[in-house]
Amino acid sequence: MEEEPPATGLAARDDLRSALPFLPVVLRGGALFWPPAAQESLRALALGPDVSRVASGDVLADALTDLRLALALPALPSRAADGLALFFDDLLSRAQARGWFAEVVPNLARLLLRLPALLEDHYAKAGHGASGLRVLASQDSGVVLLSQELVAALLTCALFCLFPTAGRAQACLPTINFDGLFTALIHRSQSQEQKVRCIVHYFERVTDSTPTGFVSFERKVLPRRGLSDSIPYPDIHAWLASSAPLCQFRVFSSGFIEDEEQEALQVDFANKYLGGGALSRGCVQEEIRFMINPELIVGMLFMASMEDNEAIEIFGAERFSQYMGYGSSFRFVGDYLDTKPFDSMGRRRTRIVAIDALDCPARLHYESGCLLREVNKAFCGFFDQSKHQLYVKLFQDSHNKGNFPSINSNEYIGVSTGNWGCGAFGGNPEIKSMIQWIAASQALRPFVNYYTFEDASLERLEEVIQWILRHGWTVGELWHMLIEYSSQRLRGETYKGFFAWLLPSNRPNNEVHYMSE
């Protein structure tokens, strides 16, 4: 029996083979195609409502079921169909609905008809440190760079619920189709309606004018075992030994991370599954960010859930919507024109880093293992892989205080964050603010801009920051104090908050002098 010749072209690409089971297109004869029945349905949609008869939410739901059946997927869930009808036939104004079905839906269908060509072009150009679209599984560090046009096409697949779902749970991939988003409308939640309005606005924008930039999605990993070209997972003693100086720390009682004016890593208070409840009923910090920057959602297609030593950084996602409120009070209030400049790769200079906090009883947050997990999670999000040799040196040399590398002015990229993991996950804002300061400083970030959201427990944060900076503490010294405080809390030797415990008026003189020497 003759051996089959080796695969060539697209068929030989490991990245495409990884992604293909989760895409609605097929590979045949070295090229990507829509299945014939699906292509015929898309062509009809592209000709507008006079041909497709798709001029209402309920008929759109029927058309999407036809598309799904053409892709060997089950019919659109009935409650999702009801949600589509509710939104486009009852909640949207008649004028906006007419524009949606006359212009937006046909343009989205035309975009989907170009999806195979967009993907082929994407894989042909992949390289220079970024792979083609592939599943980035747990412990698989890497970068995927996508054009905004391809992102829009993939998001249209999600809107039309065309992505295969078989195997996603086994691959630890989050939900990606929008059926859950529309199903949740049935509960008549105002915030849910407003989330959909953000998404609809995004599609109106990108069909009116196709964006031309790029977005990168990076899986960052702190390996459990040290590798020559990576940063190892630090233990408690490594943090104690760190000689890194603490960076500048600014406190803002008002304002929002997404409105950060300086170039900074903007922290997404993430779920371990990227996006959290963005495509279901969630409407807190992460979900809101995914609604106003919908390009973030594409990461949910191929980013597996995060382990304790992983983070996800997304660079270049454009913001499209203005909003107000939070949770049940969230409201879409109009268009947002993103004026962030582009880098040399065509990405907007917006860096969003997803780090998931521990969700556990409050007492466990003081366990040394939990403190270590949180500081390493934040460090994983904040580090720059190109500086790994500097990080290793700072972890190893506790006698190097004052002799540390300067920040290149071209790399003046700080951290913009807030009360990470302090809502439903039960974290302590005083502890979490210190953990993020430690992690950002160790990552050689020049500053932390911290938004307290007027949390009363952080009224003394500025006072504590200035006191620590006056004493010139290093990362290792502040980490030591966190460990000591937490051990006293666990032993029942103190019930004060960290700030009250730390400041001189509340501590024995010998302890203050010990850390001031």
Residue 359 CA from chain centroid, whole number: 18
Calculate the alpha carbon distances from 341 to 236, 349, 418 in Å.
40, 6, 24
Residue 473's SS3 state is coil
Does the annotation mark 477 as catalytic? no
- Catalytic annotation, pick one of 268, 310, 313, 374: 268
Minimal CA–CA distance to 22: which of 170, 175, 167?
167
Write out 23-47 in H/E/C secondary structure. CCCEEECCEEECCHHHHHHHHHHHC
- Judge whether 285 is annotated as a binding position: yes
Does the annotation mark 313 as catalytic? no
The H or E element that residue 146 is part of is: strand 142-147
Calculate the alpha carbon distances from 332 to 254, 288, 326 in Å.
20, 10, 11
- Catalytic annotation, pick one of 286, 295, 318, 356: 286
Alpha carbon distance 110, 213 (integer Å): 20
- Catalytic annotation, pick one of 15, 149, 287, 318: 287
Which residues does 507 contact at the CB level (< 8 Å), separation at least 6?
Answer: 501
**330-336 own/partner pairs: CB under 8 Å, 24+ apart:** 330/191, 330/194, 330/195, 330/283, 330/288, 331/190, 331/191, 331/194, 332/194, 332/195, 332/197, 332/198, 332/201, 332/291, 335/201, 335/205, 336/292
Which residues does 349 contact at the CB level (< 8 Å), separation at least 6?
Answer: 263, 340, 341, 342, 343
Residue 251's SS3 state is strand
Does the annotation mark 40 as catalytic? no
The DSSP code sequence of 384-408 is: -GGGHHHHHHHHH-TT-TT--PPPP
- Determine contact, residues 379/448, Cβ cutoff 8 Å: no
Alpha carbon distance 311, 469 (integer Å): 28
Q: 413, exposed or middle or buried, with CB in 10 Å at 0-12, 13-18, 19+?
A: middle
Q: 465, exposed or middle or buried, with CB in 10 Å at 0-12, 13-18, 19+?
A: buried
Alpha carbon distance 80, 43 (integer Å): 24
| Opening angle at CA 449, ends 419 and 194, nearest 5 | 55
- Determine contact, residues 385/231, Cβ cutoff 8 Å: yes
- Judge whether 396 is annotated as a binding position: no
Minimal CA–CA distance to 417: which of 450, 462, 456?
450
Binding residues: 271, 285, 326
Binding residues for substrate: 271, 285, 326
Catalytic residues: 268, 286-287
